[in-house]
Amino acid sequence: MFKITNYTDNDDVKVIAEKGSFQVVEFQRDLSVSPFDAQVQYFMTQMNVKKKQLLINLQNADVTIQAGAMQWMLGDVKATTGIKGAGDFLGKMIKGSVTGEAAIKPEYKGTGMLALEPTYKHILLLDVSEWGGQVVIDDGFYLASEDGLKQKLVARSNFSSAVAGGEGLFNLSLVGNGVAALESPVPQEELIEVELKDDVLKIDGNLAIAWSSSLNFTVERSGKSLIGSAASGEGLVNVYRGTGKVLMTPVRSMKIGALEGALEQ
């Protein structure tokens, strides 16, 4: 039995999202500042640059998280590697090498709680059932998922253009029923959701965070010919074709990781 005080009941901590086993808390102000960085922290708060933290209630479901993301755990919690043999280990190593994600993602089970490392990135909670039970995640956005979701690799339809576009050949796909937590460079309020029905979406750059597995994803020239692509000034574009949804940011990814590193120094 445990009890937590001066955390979510603190007026400086606000629960901004809750879904499935996950809660996202936001620290309204950073009170642990020195006279040397107080001014920077003040203006960061005014511009909604605030730390967030993912809380996980393991009584609802076992979870898998990104390697190195755990900050503290409370109660009867057991951590495993999730490896079920040599073949499974090799498969996870291959999956990690082609998606840029950690090869081994620890799995946590029990009846306690888990808190992940605070971040200045925005944490999105995605119910995969609302995406037809299967969603593709762009590289680097995965944070955690419930055990009802299995991780698979999906390949690009045209390998040569994917390499030319610098997008890689594979992406991580989450399949099943459950909630996933993603890290985003922009808040939920600014994300654009595009729903396609036998139509096509073309994006200049990797602005898409997630998309339905039912969509055919390719990297193509923006024009029908090399001359047409050169004239448009766009070159290669990411193309999502078919029926499904795409979740995209209005701006390119910010270097939030560099910001966090600078503030910790």
pTM across the whole model: 0.82
**Cα–Cα distances in angstroms (integers) from residue 168 to residues 154, 156, 159, 172, 183, in the given order:** 11, 8, 8, 11, 20
Spatial separation of the C-alpha atoms in residues 152 and 174, rounded to whole Å:
6
Say if 160 falls within a structural domain: yes
pLDDT-based confidence at residue 167 (cuts at 50, 70, 90): low
For residue 248, give its domain range.
11-262
More confident residue, 195 or 238: 195
Say if 1 falls within a structural domain: no
Say if 22 falls within a structural domain: yes
Strand partners, 127: 179
Cβ pair 124, 190 in contact under 8 A = no
Cβ pair 117, 126 in contact under 8 A = no
Say if 2 falls within a structural domain: no
Rounded percentage of the chain residues whose pLDDT exceeds 90: 53
pLDDT of residue 173: 93
Region of poorest pLDDT, from 31-45, 109-123, 171-185, 237-251: 31-45
pLDDT of residue 82: 61
Average pLDDT, the chain: 83
pLDDT digits (tens, 9 = 90+) for 17-60: 999 999 999 999 888 888 888 898 889 888 888 999 999 999 98
Among left, alpha and beta (phi > 0; psi -120 to 50; other), residue 3 is: beta
Spatial separation of the C-alpha atoms in residues 248 and 244, rounded to whole Å:
13
- Strand, coil or helix: what is 82? coil
- CA-closest candidate to residue 136, choices 109, 101, 164: 101
pLDDT (average), residues 123-144: 94
- Token pair of 252, please? 């390119």
Say if 181 falls within a structural domain: yes
pLDDT digits (tens, 9 = 90+) for 65-87: 998 999 999 999 998 876 554 44
CATH of the domain at 108: 3.60.160.10
pLDDT at 130 over 50: yes
Strand partners, 170: 155
Q: How many domains does the chain have?
A: 1
pLDDT of residue 197: 97
Per-state percent for the chain, helix, strand, coil, to nearest 5: 20, 40, 40
Rounded percentage of the chain residues whose pLDDT exceeds 70: 77
Residue indicated by tokens 């750059």? 205
Say if 149 falls within a structural domain: yes
pLDDT of residue 22: 97
Say if 217 falls within a structural domain: yes
Say if 6 falls within a structural domain: no
Phi, psi of 11, deg, nearest 5: -70, -5
pLDDT of residue 221: 80
Tell me the pairing of strands 236-248 and 208-212: antiparallel
